[in-house]
Structure 1
Amino acid sequence: MAVDTVAAPALVDDRALSRHPKAGIVYIVLGGLLVLLALTKLGGLTTTVEIDKTLSDASWAAPTSTVVLILGLAAAALGAWMIVGLPQRRYKIAGAAAVAATVLALLFWAYSEEGTVFRAESILAGALFLSMPYIFGALSGVVCERSGVINIGIEGQFLMGAFTGVLVANITGSVYAGMLGAMIAGSLSTMLLALLATKYQVNQVVVGVILNLLALGFTSFMYDQLKKADGFNTAFSVPTITWGPLADIPVLGPVLFQQKIFVYVGLVMVAVVWFLLYRTRWGLRTRAVGEHPAAADSMGVNVNRLRYWNVVAAGLLAGFGGAWFTLGNSLAFNKNMTAGLGFVALAVMIVGRWNPLGVLAGALIFGFTTQIARDLSAAGSSVPGEFLQMLPYAVTLVVVAGLIGKAKAPAADGVPYNPGDK
């Protein structure tokens, strides 16, 4: 007797072709605008790149119109390539390359004015240092949200870390004790979030906003009190670590081997968090409670307890990031000195797709554009610094809109869990 057979459904292949005409059209339009800019506005201009710390006489000048024209054509070609259809992995690479070509073209345009020079080593070293608060804040968010808890309170944790770091450093006379105090303050700040999110199951977004306001009010009040007492809010300086002859390597030396301790701790923590999340039992359980807590519960994982302690541990990272604002920059504490960068760290987390390595890339983008805006502003460029500072947020919107692949949060992010729920 013949047996009817039914073809098994094809498995979803990550290498399947991705066709997103809208994204490709956007890059074609951007590339076309850059080509038009190169042909009509940039004739006769040059952009100078200089290695300013290790090789004082090394500089190169390139015709701005030619570079912008090539980059514009590249962005348009990548957009057209994406319309045709690409394997999923190559599609993401093509989208990222199109964005990079557009930003690089704008950068050459910004530095084409007379009196502006792209001082490569200083700018890159400054960009890496300025990316640190985003790295610490975003890593804190990654640990929380991979566990299923939304941490909107990073801004408040920054403030508590910045204030406590200076206070403890002044009391003990040790900048390293100040860093430890900042970490503890950040962890205590998240402890309340962890308790309310797991035991009382309060709306996590609302709790995060309230904790931000609480931290702002508390640190502002304490700042007013400390102004009346001498010696409790003076700036402490963190020494720059120089790695001997390695610091003399062109470009890499000043960028990687002549920085403050915050840079090295930040880079190490990116690797540590990535390893813990993807190569350890703790990481497997953390990702499980963030994606499918009922499945983790059925395997014997105490979901709420793991979420609680993960959020408390994440506060250590955010608190250390807060110390960057004061101890890292040799500044005394001022009211609201974090200026909303805790919310920017959340954007970095989204750009990085809740992955520590992606967080590093996103933080470098934000740090680089911030450094460029400061450098051009100091040089008196006619390009508005606000326009350059807007670029990271535009990149965030591009990612969220799915033009470089969609950013998808953990499935159970922000969803309370009761043992026995399905």
Structure 2
Amino acid sequence: MNDLFQEAVLISMFAAAVRIATPLLFAALGELITERAGILNLGVEGTLLMAAFAGFAGSFWFGNNFIGVLFAMFVGAVMAFLMVFMAATLKVEQVVTGLSLNLLAAGMSLYLYKTFFQGGEEPYIVVMATQPIPLLSDIPYIGDILFQQKLLTYLAFMAVPAVWFLLYRTKWGLEIRALGENPKVIDTKGMSVSLRQYSAVILGGVLIGLGGAFITIGSVVRFVPDISAGRGWLALVIVIAGNWRPGGILMAALVFAFLDALQLQIQGVGVAMPYQIFLALPYVLAIVLMIFKARRGRSEEPQRLGVPYFRGER
């Protein structure tokens, strides 16, 4: 156990937590924008999975991680389009739609992988390189933890204030938040409810796509089925734990990421404890947080979340 508290191990663990938080942050911020527009997208897990495959495929085919990231963003937008088309245009039940997208992604990603990559040598890609920030990366301890990360990690943390500014300091953000509370306000002003929901959900899908890109391009050299490994579901919990605010989402994502990094270090140093206990900790914490939020009763959840809007309703 003492090995776990050595300086090098602690620095490595905190740096890993920052890295692990990257896809969670992207996915949770994307879902935040989506939910603020009144759309409940339970297809985050499927979107992450499809974007992870697209990022891997694009990087492999073109030998360029940047192109892989663009592929992942595009697929994230496509998955979001399917969600908002079903929810905002066809008025299909949103929970069912999101779960259906997850099932579609699980089957489609495996089918596409077998179609394009089976029959030859197992495909591998070059993982995105670490980009130390000059001067800042030389700061003792903090530099190793925060400023020796990958470009997508920096982008994920920069997205937190960017999303806050977009939602709370722009006209578009005000309109999006109004959709989640009372879309009739937007409708009575002669503005399109559906158009704004499309823009919010697709933007959210692009962010989720960036999270999917990091899962493959930023982390591993190959794609495996279900590589998203429940991160989409954790992202949904992080939005709730963060009380639908970017700052709260950042804190919740770091807590979940730290628990994940902790169990990885425990396995690495060979602590004589069942690592499965720590592996389950993020999910146990998620359940506890859900119960706590339900009992607390004070929530900034959009009032019209998951409720379709019909023009002319009272």
Q: Same fold (TM over 0.5)?
A: yes
Structure 2: runs of 5+ lacking an equivalent: none
Alpha-carbon distance between aligned partners in 2 of 1:405 and 1:130, rounded to the nearest angstrom: 30
Structure 2 partner of 1:330: 220
1:412 aligns with 2:294: no
Q: How far apart, in 2, do the equivalents of 1:411 and 1:385 lie?
A: 40
Residues 1:48 and 1:220: Cα distance change in structure 2 (over 3 Å): closer
Q: Check the 8 A contact 2:3/2:269 in 1, yes or no.
A: no
CA distance 1:377–1:213, change in 2 (3 Å) = same
2:137 counterpart of 1:247: yes
Q: Which has the higher strand share?
A: 1
Q: Distance in 2 between matches of 1:350 and 1:230?
A: 44
Alignment match, 2:12:
122
Residue equivalent to 2:58: 168
Q: How many residues align?
A: 312
Aligned to 2:44: 154
Alignment check: 8 A CA contact 2:28 2:249 kept: yes
Q: How far has the Cα of 1:239 moved from its partner? A: 0.9
TM-score (norm 1): 0.70
Q: Is this contact kept in 1: 2:59–2:125, CA < 8 A? A: no
Is residue 351–residue 362 contact of structure 1 (8 Å, CA) maintained in 2? yes
Aligned to 2:82: 192
Q: After alignment, is 219-228 or 230-239 more displaced?
A: 230-239
Q: Which runs of 5+ in 1 are unaligned?
A: 1-44, 53-118
Query: What is aligned with 1:234?
Result: 124
**1:122-172 CA-partner distances (Å, limit 9, x unpaired):** 111000000111111111110111000001001111111111111111222
Alpha-carbon distance in structure 1 between the residues aligned to 2:270 and 2:288: 30
The answer to whether the 8 A contact 2:242-2:249 is kept is yes
> Which residues of 2 match residues 16-415 of structure 1 at below 5 A?
49-52=5-8, 119-228=9-118, 230=120, 233-400=123-290, 401-402=292-293, 406-415=298-307
Contact persistence 2:81–2:202 (CA under 8 A): yes
Higher helix share: 2
CA RMSD of aligned residues (A): 2.0
Distance 1:136 1:246, change over 3 A: same
Structure-1 separation of matches of 2:4 and 2:112: 48
TM normalised by structure 2 equals 0.93
What's the secondary structure of 2:123's corresponding residue? coil
Contact 1:290 1:410 in 2 (8 A): yes
State the percentage of identical aligned residues. Answer: 35
- Cα deviation for residue 419 of structure 1 reads 1.8
Deviation digits for residues 199-243 of structure 1, max 9, x if unmatched?
A: 110001101111111111111011112333558932222110012
SS at match of 1:328: coil
Please tell me the residue identity of whatever aligns with 2:310: N
